[in-house]
Structure 1
Amino acid sequence: MKSRKQQRPRHKGSGTVFKNPALEKLTRTHIAVPLVLYPLVSAGFIYYGVAELGFTASQMALLFFIGMVVYTLVEYLMHRYLYHIAPYTKALEKFSYKVHGVHHEYPKDKKRLAMPPILALVLVAFFFLLFGILMGDYVFGFLPGFVMGYTFYLGIHYSVHAFKVPDNFLRVLWHHHAIHHYRQPDRAFGISSPLWDYIFGTMPKLRKDNAGKGEYIDPA
């Protein structure tokens, strides 16, 4: 079996997840679809929270911010422990490839840089029920932040793989994710933020040169 640190070779083009043509088509998503859909979903929740439940703008803003922060933690945990689950069995190896391995093998495949909207909306419904049970009506402020955290992640993730490194503060996120893909796949799991990599000790390893400057090294 492949170890957690080993990677499949990277290729151009697009891989195949399902042999069934209909299922295979559902795995491909144009990035514009979720980037338009999820803000509309979030706006609907916010409108209901303000217009029907009477939440103030400051309450919604606080809940929204908390939702975004919680999303970054969920993103990190899913990427580290679910998408990169160690393939101890053939079944796990197959699962890992379908949900994430194909992306590592074909990182420039632009139509596999976002979860299919149908599946994502099912997850939104699941989180709505879960968070609704845990926090009641506050879910109408929290969930939009959570969903927009995911939307921001999609924009960053797509941009990293589709565009050149920008000459601004976002270049940090470009480099961080590139290190995960091409040099240290067992580190740099945060995509929309490196916050949890700092907290959980999975920032990329550095090697000091004679001038005392650090550069990223390949994992041992």
Structure 2
Amino acid sequence: MKPNHKGSARLFKNPFLEKLTRTHIALPISIFLTIAVGMLYYGITHSFINILEAIGFFFIGWLIFTLLEYLAHRYLFHMDTDTPLKARLQYLFHGNHHEYPKDKKRLAMPPVVSILYASAFFFIFKVIFGTFVFGVVAGILFGYAMYLFVHYIVHAYPPPRNFLKQLWIHHSIHHYKDPEAAYGVSSPLWDYILGTMPKRSR
């Protein structure tokens, strides 16, 4: 799909649903950072976890998020579009972003959808981690907020003249050169591990 630097896709005929698909990036980032801090505070002050456990499991959650980000981007957002339903879903989830990568209000899922995902993560990871869930899910939500921040700035601003420039290069390769590589946005970690680092020529 050829990227268009201007404009925005129309996803729904219903104006209310269409409006729900747009959000200023500051809103979801603020929501998830607040929830992450609140979970750590609640878990520590109610003695579900101590400070060292909170720190350790926070970083475990952040690492888990980077893997979830990679897997979702690679296998869900870039799913095979071999049926009309899959093609429609892929376009709603991600295809519209590849067509209009400069559409700043479509760089995050609507907060309502994201909160539903966050709630599901809490109950799933509570089964796995027990009371350590307060640290793990705080790390996941922090990771998601960082992903949204990185994704926004690499589309909205020119790259800096420092080592962070590699994030801009990595994501630009995914958008404009090889959409089947460079799936990591906030970090190329899993691209290195799982063999989807793009081949770059000088």
- What TM-score comes out, normalization by structure 1 length? 0.89
- Counterpart contact for 2:167–2:185, Cα < 8 Å: yes
| Unaligned stretches of 5+ residues in structure 1 | 1-6, 207-213, 216-220
1:104 is aligned to: 98
Paired letter, 2:43: G
Paired letter, 1:29: T
- Counterpart contact for 2:43–2:134, Cα < 8 Å: yes
2:18 is aligned to: 24
1:132 and 2:126 matched: yes
Higher relative contact order (CA 8 A, sep 6+): 2
1:13 is aligned to: 7
Give the Cα separation in 2 of the matches to 1:196 and 1:152: 16
1:152 and 2:146 matched: yes
Larger Rg computed on CA atoms:
1
Give the Cα separation in 2 of the matches to 1:131 and 1:8: 39
Q: How many correspondences in the alignment?
A: 202
Q: Secondary structure at the match of 1:33?
A: helix
Paired letter, 1:192: S
Give the Cα separation in 2 of the matches to 1:61 and 1:74: 20
Give the Cα separation in 2 of the matches to 1:59 and 1:153: 24
Q: Secondary structure at the match of 2:120?
A: helix
Q: Secondary structure at the match of 1:186?
A: coil
Paired letter, 2:117: L
**Displacement after TM superposition at 1:9 (Å):** 4.2
**Displacement after TM superposition at 1:58 (Å):** 1.4
Q: CA RMSD, aligned part only?
A: 1.0
1:36 is aligned to: 30
1:165 is aligned to: 159
Give the Cα separation in 1 of the matches to 2:186 and 2:5: 24
1:198 and 2:192 matched: yes
2:107 is aligned to: 113
Give the Cα separation in 2 of the matches to 1:9 and 1:36: 29
1:72 is aligned to: 66
Give the Cα separation in 1 of the matches to 2:99 and 2:163: 28
1:93 and 2:87 matched: yes
- Counterpart contact for 2:62–2:139, Cα < 8 Å: yes
Give deviations 1:104-136, integer Å, cap 9, x for gaps: 000000000111111000000000010011111
- Counterpart contact for 2:98–2:175, Cα < 8 Å: yes
1:122 and 2:116 matched: yes
1:175 is aligned to: 169
Paired letter, 1:99: F
Q: Secondary structure at the match of 1:124?
A: helix
Give deviations 1:61-97, integer Å, cap 9, x for gaps: 1000000001000000000000000111111111100
Match for 1:188 among 172, 177, 182?
A: 182
| Unaligned stretches of 5+ residues in structure 2 | none
**Displacement after TM superposition at 1:44 (Å):** 1.1
**Comparing 71-80 and 31-40, the one that deviates more:** 31-40
- What TM-score comes out, normalization by structure 2 length? 0.97
**Runs ≥4 in structure 1, deviation > 4 angstroms?**
none
1:211 is aligned to: none
